[in-house]
Amino acid sequence: MAKRRDRLNGSNRAHQYYNDADEAEAWIGEQELYMIADDKAKDEQSAMLMSKRHLIVKQAVDVYSDSIQKLSDRAQKMLNEDHPNGESIIRRQGQVDKQYAGLKDLAEERRRKLDHVYHHFLLSREVEDLEHWIAERDVVASSQEMGQDLDHVTILRDKFRDFSRETGMVGQERVDYVNQTIDELIKAGHTEAAAMADWRDSVNESWADLLELIDTRVQLLQASHDLLKSVCTQPAHVSLHTTCSCQSAYNLLKSVCTQPAHVLR
């Protein structure tokens, strides 16, 4: 009677294990369908929402490891107790473990892809903003205004010096940030690495061109200031033609400074 009860109990345990294993595989299968879905983010906000949603699902997958471990412990116990179905059960558990491990890999891969998409949108916006910022300063640095007289030139020179310092500090920091971010994403194996490398090259080229424009205008304004100062501040007894000479110097500078930028470089 006791043996019959043990056999019945063992049969019930095996039956319950198989039912639980079926439920585990069904749950894993449902999560796999989500993991392989080909839905794509349209913008930065939707990418962020998809990442947050996936984080919740991934946490559920990670927590499910407790259920898988308990199922594995039951299978191992029946094998150790020489249960008639012990070997079959442990093989089934191996299948469950393999399927669950595959699910965790899919979850991590999807997390990585969503993270890449989100950072791609972030970087795209930063690069676009930086290119626009550089273009705005290109306009200032390309100005051909040289002032109407010495005082005006002095004001222009001093203001442009401030512009040069501010642009240099802020711009270099932003360019360095973009370069570092792109380098890190490429190193991490980002799927859009080639496009990001092109962005980096474009930003660096635009930045170098702007710095060259700024340097050219700094030199021109300083040269204009120095020449006008030397000519226009002569004592009256030195030359009877000071005013004429000053105007001639200004006209010369105006002629030089309205040359195309590539000629002045």
SS3 235: coil
pLDDT of residue 6: 64
If DSSP codes are grouped into helix, strand and coil, which group holds residue 96? helix
Contacts of 236 (CB under 8 A, 6+ apart): 242
What pLDDT is stored for residue 1 in this prediction? 62
pLDDT, position 227: 85
Fold of 1-119: Methane Monooxygenase Hydroxylase; Chain G, domain 1 (1.20.58)
pLDDT given at position 250 = 57
**Same fold yes or no, 1-119 and 143-232+245-257:** yes
pLDDT tens figures, 101-158: 999 999 999 999 999 999 999 999 999 999 999 999 999 999 988 878 888 999 999 9
Contacts (Cβ under 8 Å, ≥6 apart) of 20: 71, 74
What would the CATH number be for the domain defined by 143-232+245-257? Answer: 1.20.58.60
Phi-psi region of 201 (alpha: psi -120 to 50; beta: other; left: phi over 0): alpha
The per-residue pLDDT for 3 is: 65
Give the pLDDT of residue 261.
Answer: 46
> What are the sequence ranges of the domains in the chain?
1-119, 143-232+245-257
Name the strand (E) or helix (H) holding 58.
Answer: helix 44-63
Residue numbers in the chain where pLDDT is lower than 50: 236-243, 261-265
pLDDT of residue 55: 96
C-beta of residue 174 within 8 angstroms of C-beta of residue 133: yes
